[in-house]
Structure 1
């Protein structure tokens, strides 16, 4: 397996984007396809390296970039949670730029795009414009539609007018995530909702590149993504038979229950996609790729990529 870390400038604004590529060492240089990952909020690409190694060992070139405001895609560590954009557009264009880079590196290969949590919002906004650039889509740990997202955007706007877009609001942080541990009595971490695997939660808690509070600018981007992804306007479905797989832990508070998880799938059907399926994992929480049973999930993902 070959591992590369590189940096490219975003075509949007010149921001350095840190990219990781894991590719198989094959006798003839052939690979099965490209597997591109869009990571979640307040984390970084390195957390996906074990999974990427698995995909590379099974013949895929696995590609990931740190989203702007995360990991190595910042001008300064003080900018974690700051997107350098207030439209929720640059993060999507960055992802598309990485798709094109991967296609140039591995020409003629099918692309499976995987998005987790916030990254699942990014990939769904991506397909509003670029669904003909990929061959399969995986939506993992998806935030469900929230009728209060408009009010949240207004709240961020009001607070930003007073404190500036780099302010980190604990009030908005609590509003967004405060309810996630309410049913986890006796938990030793505010991030226990992430995983049944306590070792994973401990690793997340001690990682300085994880768990940071978003700036108001970051929250604006997050809430705009939520609004835009569930807006029936603006969809330009060019690839209606795109295979789409939803994955989630049944105990993940982000999906807001099985009924809402199915509604997220139904929404994509309503805008024109016909080939949608889902797997809900009993007993698991938000980060299913980091649970003790992750090998089974790895295999499910590989099976979908190869189908």
Structure 2
């Protein structure tokens, strides 16, 4: 069963558009929140949400601010209504609250993809005790260009304004992803599955470059999620599972993938693991063999749910 609703952001009252998919029958065994990636929207996760709902989970995904329908007007796609990168993080609590009240006492899990992994990793700096496990798909690696990139964006903002869309900045941030991948299809870095890439390219609210404000927020999230101090570490036993395509440019490479896991271990998290999928790129859920990823994530959730229930 699907439900659509909105909730006001605690940061500024922005209306966040939410999709919930609930089991058609039986007991709800847990809540899963999905944090989607940049320049996409919640409906792209409907198949995965239906899969989890068929297993007894109540699943919620909201359009991030500046994405999908979480905007004040169509021209605001890619505009975050924030300067700090904090509001998109605080939004997560508001999005999950309805299901928490409707299904009290069940464990809550967070699954994040791409830019969503930046939001999720900043989220657990303060709220790791609100979730029972975290899945990070296609996680963004630690890019040393984030700080100088943010400075450059701010300089251009001073002249062009927050809502200006700079092809130059867009190319700096994501323009290199297709390089080194054979073929002519735009955004082929997303997946081997050409049908998936075609659907993304044909979607009018996917792939649109951020405003300068959006890129400033994005780069701030990269900076913040890799800061070494400021982690409350209320739940050092939090299970964290990194998953990614072995040919995903967003993770950097296999070495960077391991470094991301080690970074969280160094912050004090004691239950961090990862898995790379051969012959897959960035959107592993949408690859031809994406069902393998569905099943691995479900197995992980079930293991953590059963352990959380015993506590």
Q: Which residue of 2 aligns with 1:266?
A: 262
**Which secondary structure state, in structure 2, belongs to the residue aligned with residue 81 of structure 1?**
coil
Q: Which residue of 1 aligns with 2:66?
A: 69
Q: Which residue of 2 aligns with 1:84?
A: 81
Match among 98, 102, 106 for residue 101 of structure 1: 98
Q: Which residue of 1 aligns with 2:295?
A: 299
Q: Which residue of 1 aligns with 2:308?
A: none
Cα distance between partner residues in 2 of 1:118 and 1:291: 19
Q: Which residue of 2 aligns with 1:43?
A: 40
Residue 188 of structure 1 deviates from its aligned partner by 2.0
In the alignment of these two chains, the number of paired residues is 303
Q: Residues 208-219 of structure 1 correspond to what in structure 2 (within 5 A)?
A: 208-219=204-215
Cα distance between partner residues in 2 of 1:178 and 1:155: 16
Is residue 220 from structure 1 mapped to residue 228 from structure 2 by the alignment? no
Is residue 202 from structure 1 mapped to residue 216 from structure 2 by the alignment? no
**Which secondary structure state, in structure 2, belongs to the residue aligned with residue 280 of structure 1?**
strand
Residue 32 of structure 1 deviates from its aligned partner by 1.0
Residue 11 of structure 1 deviates from its aligned partner by 1.6
**Which secondary structure state, in structure 1, belongs to the residue aligned with residue 2 of structure 2?**
strand
Cα distance between partner residues in 2 of 1:303 and 1:130: 24
Match among 116, 134, 138 for residue 135 of structure 2: 138
Match among 252, 256, 269 for residue 248 of structure 2: 252
Cα distance between partner residues in 1 of 2:255 and 2:24: 43
* Superimposed CA distance per residue, residues 246-289 of structure 1 (whole angstroms, 9 cap, x where no aligned partner): 00000000000000011000000001100011110011000001
**Which secondary structure state, in structure 1, belongs to the residue aligned with residue 110 of structure 2?**
strand
* Superimposed CA distance per residue, residues 18-61 of structure 1 (whole angstroms, 9 cap, x where no aligned partner): 0011111224xx21100110000000000000000000001100
CA contact (8 A) 1:36 1:111 kept: yes
Q: Which residue of 2 aligns with 1:276?
A: 272
TM-score w.r.t. length of structure 2: 0.96
Cα distance between partner residues in 2 of 1:156 and 1:165: 10
Q: After the TM superposition, which parts of structure 1 deviate over 4 Å for at least 4 consecutive aligned residues?
A: none
TM-score w.r.t. length of structure 1: 0.97
* Superimposed CA distance per residue, residues 110-134 of structure 1 (whole angstroms, 9 cap, x where no aligned partner): 0110010000110110000000000
* Superimposed CA distance per residue, residues 179-235 of structure 1 (whole angstroms, 9 cap, x where no aligned partner): 11111132221x110010000000000101100010000001100000000010111
Cα distance between partner residues in 1 of 2:243 and 2:222: 18
Match among 143, 152, 157 for residue 155 of structure 1: 152
